[in-house]
């Protein structure tokens, strides 16, 4: 295998408590700690392990977003990616728009494998990987908890509702990583210093000439309602009566 393309997304750190803007226009991001999407980090770790086993020659990390996304790409380079590409845009892309941008990068880089997280923890859409595979016209294996590279094929163990499913896909292919695929490595300070010297290419989104028009409009964002305090009932009869009064029975 010559090249693995890994897609990384910049998201609010999972330890941060999300706040909504006062006017309901969206999530408050000012001063908020940002990080790599955890599922994408798992995807990158798997790509690096494949390379370390001598089964790939190059790992390329790619991202789409604002200039600050370079920070997350540098983290990917510190983990071990060989180079990185950032498609710069201040527009928040929907999954289809992101898939179209990634398809343009796939056409340019011609990877043998594309790895990304099964979903991003900010929007939880779980769509970009599937859409990329459809646009590319290549096989896909989602929710991967184990991958084994063979001769021109990838054997993937998928986590599905009924348990585990094992499938084989011809390469090139798109694979999305689930939580139990691996545990990402800890990035050490020397690796962070080395990452500063690795290539990071910046591409303005306009240069790709891709239609990214949104198909949906977010009219308002609101926090979830405050959970009501529970009550203690004396017996089953009172429980049934209480549920009936609330219209739940």
Residue range 58-104, pLDDT digits in tens: 999 999 999 999 999 999 999 999 999 999 999 889 999 999 999 99
Q: Is residue 90 in a domain?
A: yes
* Position 91 in a domain: yes
Q: Would 89 be classed as within a structural domain?
A: yes
Mean pLDDT over 18-41 rounds to 90
Q: Is residue 201 part of a domain?
A: yes
> What integer pLDDT is reported at residue 6 of this predicted model?
98
Give the count of domains, the chain: 1
List pLDDT tens digits, range 145-202: 999 999 999 999 999 988 999 999 999 999 999 999 999 999 999 999 999 999 999 9
- Asked if residue 78 belongs to a domain, the reply is yes
Q: How far apart are CA 183 and CA 67, in angstroms?
A: 28
**Tens digit of pLDDT for each residue in 114-144?**
999 999 999 899 999 999 999 999 999 999 9
Contact at 8 Å (CB) between 100 and 212? yes
Structural domain span for residue 61: 3-224
Q: Within a domain: residue 28?
A: yes
């Amino acid at each position: 295998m010559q090249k693995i393309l890994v897609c990384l997304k910049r998201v609010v750190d999972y330890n941060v408590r999300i706040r909504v803007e006062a006017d309901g226009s969206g999530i408050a991001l000012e001063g908020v700690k940002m990080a790599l999407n955890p599922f994408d980090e798992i995807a990158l770790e798997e790509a690096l392990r494949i390379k370390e086993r001598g089964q790939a020659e190059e790992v390329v990390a790619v991202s789409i977003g604002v200039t600050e996304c370079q920070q997350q790409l540098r983290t990917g380079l510190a983990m071990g990616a060989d180079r990185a590409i950032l498609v710069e845009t201040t527009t928040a892309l929907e999954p289809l728009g992101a898939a179209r941008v990634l398809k343009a990068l796939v056409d340019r880089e011609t990877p043998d494998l594309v790895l990304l997280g099964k979903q991003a923890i900010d929007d939880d859409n779980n769509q970009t990987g599937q859409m990329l595979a459809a646009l590319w016209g290549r096989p896909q294996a989602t929710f991967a908890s184990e991958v084994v590279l063979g001769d021109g094929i990838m054997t993937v163990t998928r986590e599905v509702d009924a348990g585990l499913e094992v499938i084989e896909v011809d390469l090139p292919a798109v694979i999305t990583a689930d939580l139990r695929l691996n545990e990402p490595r800890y990035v050490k300070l020397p690796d962070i210093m080395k990452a500063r010297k690795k290539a990071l290419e910046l591409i303005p989104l306009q240069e790709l000439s891709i239609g990214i028009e949104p198909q949906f409009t977010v009219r308002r964002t609101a926090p979830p309602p405050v959970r009501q305090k529970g009550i203690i009932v004396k017996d089953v009869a009172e429980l049934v009566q209480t549920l009936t009064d609330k219209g739940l029975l």
